[in-house]
């Protein structure tokens, strides 16, 4: 042992080893791992994209009426092969409302908490945040990752905590700075003040109240709903939120927006595809099983996502780990036409497969063209997976342009 190494104590050696490992992990993440840079050759990707107007036999539909028939076949195929069926449609009812003062809601004004019931056994908490002013407000419906309470500054006790199991890092505010450092300032909750200033209301819910985002606990909840996958179940919950919005005259029912990122971007897309009451869809970095073609074998694989999150999709989806499914995500995106659609990605989010997403969006565009609708938009920002100021800025700009 050298004299220098002898002077380094055990704690210092452990710290040095930890720093070395962390540096190696970061180097891998940003050079060859999920956060490696992705280049988009948009022209080449668009030319290689499938066409959502092509039916199973390769015949291209050419009229809006023929597209409606094609649309029904796509919906059936998506539920059969990717997501599983949605639970039975039962209208939700608000059974209890509580207005929460800004001082009890982390400084956020206009907060109302609603206990929602569906049928005989499903309950979840919905939080509404209203902007100042009179008149019906456009509303952004969004799911959150760690529960409604964690979405608000300082986790105010007046906002109900999740009803079911949720991840350990979500249970304690001590982890919140780590979440934000890793995934962006707005990963746990939205910029409430900026949203209100732009005149938008919020409808915020935690899907884990209905189906826990935890593989060991999800199956029992899915059986209650008669659903195969959590994405479909959360999409059904999204529709129940829209039920409550429809019954409330404070909202503009012609400007209801489905907004989501990552796994909840998948939910926003499926909600927009299946629920005609949704007037615009914004999905950020939704990746495999969301906006990225399954047939584009890059980023997170079908094998990986169905192994790590076996409760998200229909069990049939894992069959497409090595072969292409009979329906793909360009067709999901096409179902949203003619309504406004924004797809967002990040330059260092290879795991979400921005290339496969761009191909899917290009493949969906013919449906928008057929219905004489403005084309869907693809936005690419710098950085990695998460939600930051740029994501909300592009959200506001897109909605102001397309829904105002």
Q: Structure pTM?
A: 0.93
Question: 75: pLDDT confidence band, cut at 50, 70 and 90?
Answer: very high
Alpha-helical runs (H) found in 55-131: 64-78
Q: Give mean pLDDT, residues 319-348.
A: 98
> Can you give the pLDDT at residue 14?
79
In a 3-state reduction of DSSP, which class is residue 18?
Answer: helix
Quick check: 395 and 339 in contact, CB under 8 A?
A: no
Q: Give mean pLDDT, residues 277-306.
A: 98
What is the Cα–Cα distance from 260 to 318, expressed in whole angstroms? 24
**φ, ψ dihedrals at 256, nearest 5°:** -105, 125
Instruction: Examine the pLDDT at 103 and tell me if it is beyond 90.
Output: yes
> Can you give the pLDDT at residue 203?
98
What is the Cα–Cα distance from 395 to 177, expressed in whole angstroms? 24
Question: 107: pLDDT confidence band, cut at 50, 70 and 90?
Answer: very high
Q: Which two tokens stand for residue 328?
A: 């793909």
Question: 13: pLDDT confidence band, cut at 50, 70 and 90?
Answer: confident
Q: Which two tokens stand for residue 65?
A: 């009426």
CATH superfamily to which 42-403 belongs? Alpha/Beta hydrolase fold, catalytic domain (3.40.50.1820)
What ranges do the domains of the chain cover? 1-32, 42-403
Question: 113: pLDDT confidence band, cut at 50, 70 and 90?
Answer: very high
Instruction: Examine the pLDDT at 112 and tell me if it is beyond 70.
Output: yes
What is the Cα–Cα distance from 333 to 359, expressed in whole angstroms? 11
Q: Which two tokens stand for residue 403?
A: 């829904």
Q: Give mean pLDDT, residues 235-260.
A: 98
């Amino acid at each position: 042992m050298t004299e220098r190494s002898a002077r380094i104590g055990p704690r210092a050696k452990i710290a040095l080893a930890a720093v070395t490992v962390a540096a190696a992990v970061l180097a891998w993440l940003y050079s060859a791992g999920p956060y490696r840079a992705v280049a988009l050759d948009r022209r080449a990707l668009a030319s290689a994209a499938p066409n959502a107007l092509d039916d199973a036999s390769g015949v291209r539909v050419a009229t809006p009426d023929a597209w409606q028939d094609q649309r029904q076949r796509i919906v059936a195929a998506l539920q059969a092969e990717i997501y599983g069926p949605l639970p039975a449609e039962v209208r939700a009812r608000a059974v209890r409302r509580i207005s929460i003062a800004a001082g009890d809601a982390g400084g956020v004004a206009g907060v109302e908490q609603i206990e929602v019931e569906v049928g005989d056994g499903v309950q979840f908490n919905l939080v509404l945040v209203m902007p100042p002013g009179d008149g019906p407000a456009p509303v952004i419906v969004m799911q959150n990752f760690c529960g409604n309470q964690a979405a608000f500054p300082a986790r105010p006790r007046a906002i109900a905590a999740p009803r079911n199991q949720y991840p350990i890092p979500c249970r304690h505010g001590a982890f919140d700075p780590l979440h934000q450092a890793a995934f962006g300032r707005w990963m746990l909750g939205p910029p409430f003040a900026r949203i209100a200033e732009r005149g938008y209301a919020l409808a915020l819910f935690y899907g884990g109240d209905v189906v826990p985002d935890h593989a060991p606990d999800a199956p029992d909840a899915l059986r209650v709903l008669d659903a195969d996958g959590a994405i479909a179940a959360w999409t059904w919950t999204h529709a129940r939120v829209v039920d409550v919005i429809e019954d409330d005259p404070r909202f503009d029912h012609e400007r209801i927006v489905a907004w989501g990122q990552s796994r909840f971007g998948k939910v926003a897309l499926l909600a927009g595809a299946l629920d005609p009451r949704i007037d615009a869809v914004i999905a950020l970095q939704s990746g495999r099983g969301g906006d990225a073609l399954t047939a584009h074998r890059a980023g997170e694989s079908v094998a990986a996502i169905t192994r790590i999150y076996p409760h998200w999709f229909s069990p049939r989806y894992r069959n497409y780990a090595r072969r292409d499914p009979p329906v793909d995500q360009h067709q999901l995106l096409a179902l949203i036409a003619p309504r406004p659609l924004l797809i967002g990605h990040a330059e260092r989010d290879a795991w979400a497969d921005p290339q496969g997403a761009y191909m899917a969006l290009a493949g969906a565009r013919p449906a928008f063209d057929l219905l004489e609708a403005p084309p869907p938009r693809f936005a690419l920002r710098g950085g990695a997976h998460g939600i930051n100021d740029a994501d909300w800025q592009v959200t506001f700009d897109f909605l102001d342009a397309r829904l105002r």
